[in-house]
Amino acid sequence: MTISNPHTQTITKDNTALRHDWSSPEVLRLFNLPFNDLLFRAHSIHRQQFDPNQVQISTLLSIKTGACPEDCKYCPQSVHYDTGLEREKLLPVEDVVAAANAARETGATRFCMGAAWRQPSDRNLEKVIKLISAVRETGMETCVTLGMLSDSQALRLKEAGLDYYNHNLDTSPEFYSEVVKSRTYDDRLDTLKNVRDAGLNVCCGGIVGMGESRTDRAGLLVELANLPIHPQSVPINQLIRVAGTPMESLEDLDELEFVRTIAITRIMMPHSVVRLSAGRTEMSDSRQTLCFFAGANSIFYGEKLLTADNPEAHSDKVLFEKLGINRKNAAAESAA
C-alpha cells in the first residue's frame, strides 16, 4: 500500500519545503547518481539542517525478550524459529533504571525500551508506563517499541510522558510479504497513524540486506518520506543474520549501497535524525565515516541491540575522537 497524501509538501519554520510526493522512479534516479555527486548533495543538505560534526546517542534495552508470536524472518525473538534465545519476563523497574543511568553516564540522551509483543495488553502497557516514568526521572528522553498500538494506547503513552514511539516499516510494500506474514503493511501504517495522532514523536525506518532489490529500498524510502509527517527519527538497519532464522544465509549488502541508502534518506527527509542502527558490528570505521558524511547523525551506544551484538561505547568514542565528532548533549537535544 502506498500512502495517499493530499499534501505534497510541508513548509517548516525555516521555510524549508519538506516533500511528501516522492515516486520510486525519482528515488531510483538518486540511487543511480555517481557516488561522489550523491554524497555531495546529501552532505550539503545535512550541513544546512544539522551540525555535521555532532551525533545523537541512544541506547536500546530489551525489557521483555523472546516468544514473540510474529513471524518476521529476520528476528531471533520470534517463537517460530529456534535461535536458542531464552524467553524472559518483563524486567523489574530497578534493573531498567540502572541500565538507563549507565547509558546516561556513557553519553546517551535517549533510552529506548523494546518488548517482544505483537501488541501490548492494557495491563502490560501500564507496567511499561511505570518504566517510562522511572526512566524520565533519570533525565533521559524515552522511546519504546512494543508492537502495534490502538489509538487509546498511543494516547495513554503520550499522557504518561513518552517522547518517541518506534515502529518500523521494515521494507517496501511489494517485498513485505517475503519478510512478514503475520502482520500486514496496513497494520504498521495504522499504528503509525495512531502514534502521530496522539502527538508522539515517530521513530520509523527499515532494514536493508534482506534480499530485497534496489527498487524495494527505494520503495521503503518513498513510504517513509510520503507519510503525512516525516518521522522525527529514521533508523536504517543492516540485517543481522541470526542462525536459526530464515535469513541466516543471505549475502551481505554491498557496503557502498548501504551508504547510498543513508545519503538518499538524508535527501528525502532533511529534518529527520537518521540513525545507524543494527549491523554496526559488521561495519568498518571507514564505512561508518562515509555514513556520517552522507547524513547519519545518530547511533545506538551499548553492547546489545535488544538481543544482537553492538559496538562497545569505547570503540565509538575512539572513532568520534578520530573524526572530531561531538556527542549531542541533553540540553541541545531538548532544544532541537
Q: Cα dist. 88→62, 185, 223, 236, 292 in Å?
A: 10, 28, 34, 27, 35
How far does CA 191 lie from the centroid of its chain? 15
**pLDDT classification of 209: cutoffs 50, 70, 90:** very high
Q: What is the pLDDT of residue 303?
A: 56
8 Å CB contact between 273 and 244: no
pLDDT band at 175 (very low <50, low <70, confident <90, very high): very high
Residues with catalytic roles: 68, 72, 75, 112, 143, 203, 275
Q: pTM value?
A: 0.87
**pLDDT given for residue 11 in this prediction:** 56
Write down the pLDDT at residue 21: 94
> How long, in residues, is the chain?
336
pLDDT in tens, 304-324: 444 455 556 678 888 888 999
Give residue-wise pLDDT tens across range 41-53. 999 999 999 999 9
pLDDT, tens digit, 9 for 90 and up, residues 232-281? 999 999 999 888 898 888 999 999 999 999 999 999 999 999 999 888 88
Question: Which range has the worst mean pLDDT, 11-25, 103-117, 173-187?
Answer: 11-25
**Does 14 or 50 have the greater pLDDT score?**
50
CB of 53 within 8 A of CB of 297? no
In the chain, % of residues over pLDDT 70:
88
